[in-house]
């Protein structure tokens, strides 16, 4: 009996050390396996057997094989990984967006300057066909630059949709695999031992899922893990996995929206509730950064082309007889996009519609708007939200907001209808040169000013051109006669402007001040033209203003184009008191757009660096507790190897004793 107990002790010791050696070998083999957790053997001593001499030990028992795991550190690794991938994805997208706004000679500002500078030669040689052809070439280049920028943004949008499709597909696959792992774990959980490799596999799958979407987890009593996204939306529960779907944006079919499929239908997931992962970053880039970039470029394209076309229409071209200039540029029209959920007719057409008309391009803002029903329920009143800054106001049919007239219905939209208004988002991608004949450039001013040869002062005509549609050539000829120096304004000279119908308009001229367009003077004058002088007139000096007799050699309107380089006509804001802010020049507006995109790029780079470092530290902390240390495993290998050898010696000793007992029994 005593020898049998000795054999039992040796066998148990060998088995325990063999299991320990096998576990150490498993750890060493998977030292570089992603997601693997270090396993260790839990050994215990069975209760001793009572004898008259006391309790005799029964050796060692392998109680279980457990894995090194820390729930808190694992969840922290999930969360920081999701943030890191969101920020790195945002950085990658912003780096691509930055290329749409190149500085220097490749930028839109330089192309605009080149186009306006070409007008200098036309102003010097208005009848020179080669100078006019250069203007058309520069106009073509300018339009192509804007259109290329627009097409780049379209390509970026297509890339975002493609990436979203790929990410959603991977998320769905991972969700199914997590659900399958849950099922296997639940089945294995009944034997009172943890399926370590399955648990590692599930943790690794959830870690991979965190790359695409922020997750939260909750373990159930049966060992399964519930996985939730988007502020509590169930993705995996037990052995069941929900699926993400990608659909078209409710307003714009070129953009994508993400939803989660539930028993009662698809539930949209906004990027603000996803809070992490590459899908959240892609949605935010699509809905914010990319849309802002389209509006930045579109605002400049619309304001510039409209301003150039307006000045074209105020001049005369080289036709015979001369006519007002035709548009030089064409841009994409403003659009109002109805939501797919808006009320429809039996044939599928939308019941109501909204249209936009640009009334003042200088007040256009780089923004889109959302039009929806007024929560107060007031008939004919709607809520308009400017998406760039969230500013909200109520509007009615025909209201003008930020230089855009909003035409609503008929019939009036239903209570649940909504529209996405894009005054400038489509402008750049559809921009093109609309004028093909160089003779169509309206370089001549409809009116000309001639200094009387008998004048005694030094005043000469610097420029004479139309500035607005109030110009009326039937009021010519006009006679501008200067009087005495103004008694209250130093350096100023009083004058009278006599129109062809006999109307006499008094005024006061100061150096640098235009004549003919003084709406804010003490005696307002707005005849639709500006006459600017060099030198100083004297009492009695006369300047005759008449229709231009030789348009082919007149450069008045060409000089007006040169002023566009320094004129602030982009992004003016209407203040509550009715006044307008100064706005920005073309170069300043483009520089501001570059600066805004550059600041976002730098911010994305900084956040990506910080979040990547935090995620790396979190993963290091997790793997520090659950990862495999080769040096430790080598020491344990030697420890259990010696234990195994000692147990073998014990068995050998028991075998020797047993053999001797047999020999003694034979005698």
453: helix, strand or coil = coil
Residues written for the chain? 667
Specify the pLDDT at position 1.
45
CA–CA gap between residue 370 and residue 347 (Å, rounded)? 26
52: helix, strand or coil = coil
Q: Is residue 39 within 8 Å of residue 24, measured between CB atoms?
A: no
Other CB atoms within 10 A of residue 666 CB: 5
Report CA dihedral (358, 364, 368, 373) to the nearest 10 degrees.
-60
Q: Is residue 365 within 8 Å of residue 402, measured between CB atoms?
A: yes
CA–CA gap between residue 363 and residue 583 (Å, rounded)? 8
Specify the pLDDT at position 49.
77
CA–CA gap between residue 324 and residue 459 (Å, rounded)? 29
Specify the pLDDT at position 3.
61
pTM to 2 decimals?
0.87
CA–CA gap between residue 318 and residue 135 (Å, rounded)? 15
Placement of tokens 């100083």 in the chain: 536
Longest CA pairwise span in the chain (Å): 160
Shortest CA distance to 181 belongs to which of 158, 159, 207?
Answer: 207
Task: Kindly list the domain boundaries of the chain, sorted by start residue.
Answer: 2-68+632-666, 333-425, 447-547
CA–CA gap between residue 244 and residue 241 (Å, rounded)? 10
In tens, the pLDDT along 156-212 reads 999 999 999 999 999 999 999 999 999 999 988 877 788 989 999 999 999 999 999
Q: Hey, what long-range contacts does 367-370 have (CB within 8 A, 24 or more apart)?
A: 367/295, 367/402, 368/291, 368/295, 368/420, 368/421, 368/422, 368/423, 368/425, 369/401, 369/420, 369/421, 369/422, 369/423, 370/418, 370/419, 370/420, 370/421
Residues 6+ apart with CB under 8 A from 302: 331, 358, 361, 364, 423, 424, 427
Specify the pLDDT at position 421.
96
Residues of the chain with pLDDT under 70: 1-4, 667
Residues 6+ apart with CB under 8 A from 371: 336, 354, 382, 383, 384, 395, 406, 408, 418, 419, 420, 421
495: helix, strand or coil = strand
Specify the pLDDT at position 647.
80
Cis before residue 477, ω within 30 degrees of 0? Answer: yes
Beta-carbon-side half-sphere exposure of residue 325 (alpha carbons within 13 Å): 32
Residues 6+ apart with CB under 8 A from 505: 496, 497, 498, 499, 523, 525
Specify the pLDDT at position 575.
83
Specify the pLDDT at position 555.
92
Q: What strand order describes the sheet that includes 335-338?
A: 335-338, 418-422, 369-373, 382-386, 391-395
């Amino acid at each position: 009996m005593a020898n049998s107990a000795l054999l039992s002790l040796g066998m148990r010791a060998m088995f325990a050390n063999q299991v320990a050696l096998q576990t150490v070998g498993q750890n060493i083999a998977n030292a570089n396996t992603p997601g693997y957790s270090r396993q260790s053997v839990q050994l215990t001593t069975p209760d001793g057997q009572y004898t008259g001499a006391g309790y005799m030990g029964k050796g060692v028992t392998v109680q279980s094989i457990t894995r090194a795991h820390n729930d808190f550190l694992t969840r922290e690794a999930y969360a920081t990984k999701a943030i890191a991938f969101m920020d790195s994805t945002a950085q990658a997208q912003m780096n691509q967006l930055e290329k749409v706004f190149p500085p220097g000679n490749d930028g839109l500002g330089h192309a605009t300057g080149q186009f306006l500078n070409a007008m200098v030669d036309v102003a010097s040689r208005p009848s020179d066909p080669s100078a006019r052809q250069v203007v058309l070439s520069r106009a073509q280049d300018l339009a192509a630059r804007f259109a290329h920028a627009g097409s780049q943004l379209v390509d970026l949008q297509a890339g975002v949709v493609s990436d979203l499709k790929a990410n959603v597909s991977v998320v769905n696959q991972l969700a199914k695999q997590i659900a399958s792992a849950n099922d296997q774990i639940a089945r294995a959980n009944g034997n009172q031992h943890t399926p370590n490799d399955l648990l590692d596999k599930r943790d690794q799958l959830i870690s991979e899922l965190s790359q695409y979407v922020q997750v939260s987890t909750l373990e159930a009593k049966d060992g399964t893990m519930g996985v939730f996204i988007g502020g509590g939306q169930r993705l995996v529960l037990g052995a069941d996995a929900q699926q993400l779907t990608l659909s078209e944006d409710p307003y714009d079919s070129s953009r994508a929206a993400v939803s989660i499929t539930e028993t009662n239908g698809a539930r949209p997931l906004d990027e603000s509730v996803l809070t992490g992962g590459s899908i959240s970053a892609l949605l935010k880039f699509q809905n914010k950064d990319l849309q802002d970039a389209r509006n930045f470029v579109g605002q400049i394209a619309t304001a510039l082309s409209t301003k150039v076309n307006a000045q074209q229409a105020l001049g005369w071209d080289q036709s015979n007889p001369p006519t007002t200039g035709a548009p030089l540029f064409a841009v994409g029209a403003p659009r109002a996009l109805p939501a797919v959920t808006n009320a429809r007719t039996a044939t599928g057409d939308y019941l109501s519609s909204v249209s936009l008309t640009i009334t003042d391009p200088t007040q256009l803002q780089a923004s889109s708007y959302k039009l929806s029903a007024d929560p107060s329920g007031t008939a004919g009143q709607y809520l308009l939200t400017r998406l760039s800054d969230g500013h909200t106001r109520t509007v009615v049919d025909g209201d003008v907001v930020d230089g855009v007239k909003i035409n609503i219905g008929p019939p009036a939209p239903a209570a649940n209808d909504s529209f996405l208004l894009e005054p400038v988002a489509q402008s750049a991608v559809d921009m093109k040169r609309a004028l093909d004949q160089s003779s169509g450039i309206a370089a001549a001013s409809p009116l000309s000013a001639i200094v009387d040869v008998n004048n005694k002062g030094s005043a000469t005509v610097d420029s004479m051109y139309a500035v607005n549609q109030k110009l009326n050539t039937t009021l010519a000829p006009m006679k501008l006669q200067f009087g005495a120096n103004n008694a209250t304004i130093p350096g100023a000279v009083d004058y009278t402007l006599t129109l062809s119908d006999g109307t006499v308009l008094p005024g006061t001229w100061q150096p640098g001040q235009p004549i003919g367009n003084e709406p804010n003077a003490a005696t307002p004058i707005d005849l639709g033209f500006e006459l600017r002088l060099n030198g100083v007139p004297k009492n009695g000096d006369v300047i005759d203003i008449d229709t231009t007799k030789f348009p082919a050699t007149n450069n008045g309107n060409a000089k007006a184009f040169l002023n566009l380089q320094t004129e602030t006509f982009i992004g003016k804001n209407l203040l509550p008191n009715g006044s307008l802010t100064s706005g920005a020049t073309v170069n300043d507006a483009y520089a501001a757009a570059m600066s805004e995109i550059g600041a976002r790029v730098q911010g994305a780079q900084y956040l990506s660096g910080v979040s990547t470092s935090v995620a790396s530290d979190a993963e290091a902390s997790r793997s520090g507790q659950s990862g495999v240390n080769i040096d430790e495993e080598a020491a344990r290998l030697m420890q259990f190897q010696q234990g195994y050898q000692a147990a073998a010696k014990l068995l050998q000793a028991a075998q020797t004793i047993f053999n001797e007992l047999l020999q003694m029994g034979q005698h």
